[in-house]
Chain A
């Protein structure tokens, strides 16, 4: 049996993305119930193995696993034998030997989850690896946008995002969210434009199938969605920006810019937000903002991903 590891959005393709969205529809219904729990993954164990800090992603995966009745284990590097010099390989092989069925892995290095998937028997979900990918974020973004567009147009959610024009704004270069997001949004037919200073855009976007722009105000006149990225100050080691103030003035979604947007334009952000830098505090909490919806939907989407990974036919 081949495992349905989720290491990159590219593993899913359009068909896989749509399958996850449909499963997530069912799990969203489960989450609305007075008893928001189903026994689907009873007896299976999901470990969150985060070598890098996280709040929402780890908690979201743990909530998802618990709502599927899976058992959960949390690995925290600071209190582990990593501090005694144990290697990453020995660490994950130890977890594997305990009979963990799935590992949800975050690591500061691109490719770490894929490397781990070659070492362990357990299924592996990439919960963010360096500047590479963050597939479940992209899936929950697709789910949230699909839901919001349907609500805006008063129809049932469609699996096709054709016609939606999305601007991904800011620090694309360091963003795994943007890399996964571009793959997923494009697979569903959306049109994308990346906006940022040249120093914060990746050099290799020719094959991405996206537009590139450096003037935010020009772009905002003609988009349906503004997807604001966090400025990843902790990853910016060279001198890529004159100053944070100038970045905010040119590429931040300020109150003035938001006021000029069409009323039906939606605003998204993967979190954590730095309010006042890449996005104005009030804009982030305005009705056009989908930020809390993204977090909310994250649980149902991660339930879908874990279910897809672990649900197997026992017998018929």
Chain B
């Protein structure tokens, strides 16, 4: 169930072997509701907001966020989609999926943009996104919302709104969708045959969690009962009123 199409279609032909499910659909929904409230609190309402989802993982989350903002505040917030492939510093010719184009419905000049992505990792995608946004007008402010912040930043970028802080190893893979958050390892495509996986990824993919897994979060979370995401919300989430 976690081997969703987006991951199994990786260019290197590998698939995600899930180790544990950290958030379920209800947890993702609760986190989005909290983020929606935080966005409205920070910006004193939804006026001038534009929500922009990063292709492709950020788009479904951005769609949900827009619906929630409208539900809570009664204001229709424009939704944009941004593909940053042409702005990356590691221009990779990744398989181009049909429909994965940029669509920014309004001029961003003077607006507050809430950039939405699924996972914040090195920060390079967000850097590319900031360059891409600049070509669509001079936003008054850009805020960043992510479902998972997994650390390992390589650039001075931090999120404004976080669904869950999730300490990870660099070689782990985090899969986020509106159906949940899964952590696992990449392995060769052949299902059920984890040995001799691709170089770089440990051969012991499927069985028990590795010793150094995620100090902060319980590594043995059973697939059915993910740890609670909402209450203790991340420490560095949105100091109210702090610009930049």
Residue pair A311, B101 in contact (C-beta under 8 Å): no
Q: Complex formed: what's the CA distance from A220 to B136 in Å?
A: 46
Residue pair A313, B90 in contact (C-beta under 8 Å): yes
Across the two chains, which residue of chain A brings its CB closest to B134? Answer: A35
Q: Complex formed: what's the CA distance from A19 to B131 in Å?
A: 25
Interface membership of B190, Cβ < 8 A: no
Interface membership of B91, Cβ < 8 A: yes
- Of the residues A23, A39, A68, contact of B96 by C-beta under 8 Å: A23
Contacts of B87 in A (CB 8 A): 38-40
Across the two chains, which residue of chain B brings its CB closest to A310? Answer: B91
Q: A25-B101, A29-B101, A39-B131 are in contact. Are A316 and B92 (CB under 8 A)?
A: yes
The digit string for B77-100, where 1 denotes a CB below 8 A from any CB of A, is 000000101110111110111101
Residue pair A22, B96 in contact (C-beta under 8 Å): yes
Interface membership of A33, Cβ < 8 A: yes
Q: Complex formed: what's the CA distance from A37 to B87 in Å?
A: 10
Interface membership of A54, Cβ < 8 A: no
Interface membership of A107, Cβ < 8 A: no
- Of the residues A29, A30, A37, A314, contact of B91 by C-beta under 8 Å: A314
- Of the residues B98, B132, B135, contact of A22 by C-beta under 8 Å: B98
Residue pair A314, B89 in contact (C-beta under 8 Å): yes
Residues of chain A from 257 to 316 with CB closer than 8 A to chain B in the complex: 307-308, 311-316
Contacts of B83 in A (CB 8 A): 26
Q: A22-B98, A29-B101, A35-B135 are in contact. Are A314 and B86 (CB under 8 A)?
A: no
Across the two chains, which residue of chain A brings its CB closest to B137? Answer: A34
Q: Complex formed: what's the CA distance from A159 to B98 in Å?
A: 10
Residue pair A316, B90 in contact (C-beta under 8 Å): yes
Interface membership of B26, Cβ < 8 A: no
Minimal beta-carbon separation of A315 from chain B (angstroms): 6
The digit string for A44-56, where 1 denotes a CB below 8 A from any CB of B, is 0000000000000
- Of the residues A29, A312, A314, contact of B102 by C-beta under 8 Å: A29
Across the two chains, which residue of chain B brings its CB closest to A21? Answer: B98
Q: Complex formed: what's the CA distance from A81 to B215 in Å?
A: 68
Contacts of A312 in B (CB 8 A): 91-93
- Of the residues B86, B92, B102, contact of A313 by C-beta under 8 Å: B92
Contacts of B131 in A (CB 8 A): 39
Interface membership of B72, Cβ < 8 A: no
Q: Complex formed: what's the CA distance from A298 to B101 in Å?
A: 18
Interface membership of B103, Cβ < 8 A: yes
Minimal beta-carbon separation of A37 from chain B (angstroms): 8
Across the two chains, which residue of chain A brings its CB closest to B55? Answer: A26
Interface magnitude class on chain B: 20 to 34
Residue pair A311, B92 in contact (C-beta under 8 Å): yes
Contacts of A22 in B (CB 8 A): 96-98
Contacts of A68 in B (CB 8 A): 86
Q: A33-B136, A38-B86, A39-B131 are in contact. Are A26 and B101 (CB under 8 A)?
A: yes
The digit string for B207-229, where 1 denotes a CB below 8 A from any CB of A, is 00000000000000000000000
Across the two chains, which residue of chain B brings its CB closest to A67? Answer: B86
Across the two chains, which residue of chain B brings its CB closest to A316? Answer: B90
Across the two chains, which residue of chain A brings its CB closest to B84? Answer: A38
Residue pair A311, B91 in contact (C-beta under 8 Å): yes
Q: Complex formed: what's the CA distance from A41 to B89 in Å?
A: 10
Across the two chains, which residue of chain A brings its CB closest to B96? Answer: A22
Contacts of B91 in A (CB 8 A): 40-41, 311-314
Residues of chain B from 94 to 131 with CB closer than 8 A to chain A in the complex: 95-98, 100-103, 131
Q: Complex formed: what's the CA distance from A22 to B85 in Å?
A: 13
Q: Complex formed: what's the CA distance from A311 to B95 in Å?
A: 12
Residue pair A314, B90 in contact (C-beta under 8 Å): yes
Q: Which of A22, A35, A312 has the most CB of B within 10 A?
A: A22
Minimal beta-carbon separation of A139 from chain B (angstroms): 15
Q: Complex formed: what's the CA distance from A40 to B132 in Å?
A: 11
Minimal beta-carbon separation of A220 from chain B (angstroms): 33
Contacts of A311 in B (CB 8 A): 91-93
Contacts of B100 in A (CB 8 A): 26
Across the two chains, which residue of chain B brings its CB closest to A33? Answer: B135
- Of the residues A25, A35, A39, A308, contact of B93 by C-beta under 8 Å: A308
The digit string for A193-235, where 1 denotes a CB below 8 A from any CB of B, is 0000000000000000000000000000000000000000000
Residue pair A26, B135 in contact (C-beta under 8 Å): no
Contacts of A314 in B (CB 8 A): 89-92
Minimal beta-carbon separation of B174 from chain A (angstroms): 16
Minimal beta-carbon separation of A70 from chain B (angstroms): 12
Minimal beta-carbon separation of B54 from chain A (angstroms): 14
Q: Complex formed: what's the CA distance from A22 to B100 in Å?
A: 9
Q: Complex formed: what's the CA distance from A201 to B123 in Å?
A: 58
Minimal beta-carbon separation of B110 from chain A (angstroms): 15
Q: A39-B87, A159-B98, A311-B93 are in contact. List 4 more A-B contacts (CB 8 A).
A: A39-B131, A41-B91, A312-B93, A316-B92
Interface residues of A (CB under 8 A from B): 19, 22-23, 25-26, 29-30, 33, 35, 37-41, 68, 159, 307-308, 311-316
Can you list the 6 inter-chain pairs with the closest CB atoms, starting with the nearest?
Answer: A38-B86, A40-B86, A313-B92, A35-B135, A311-B91, A22-B96
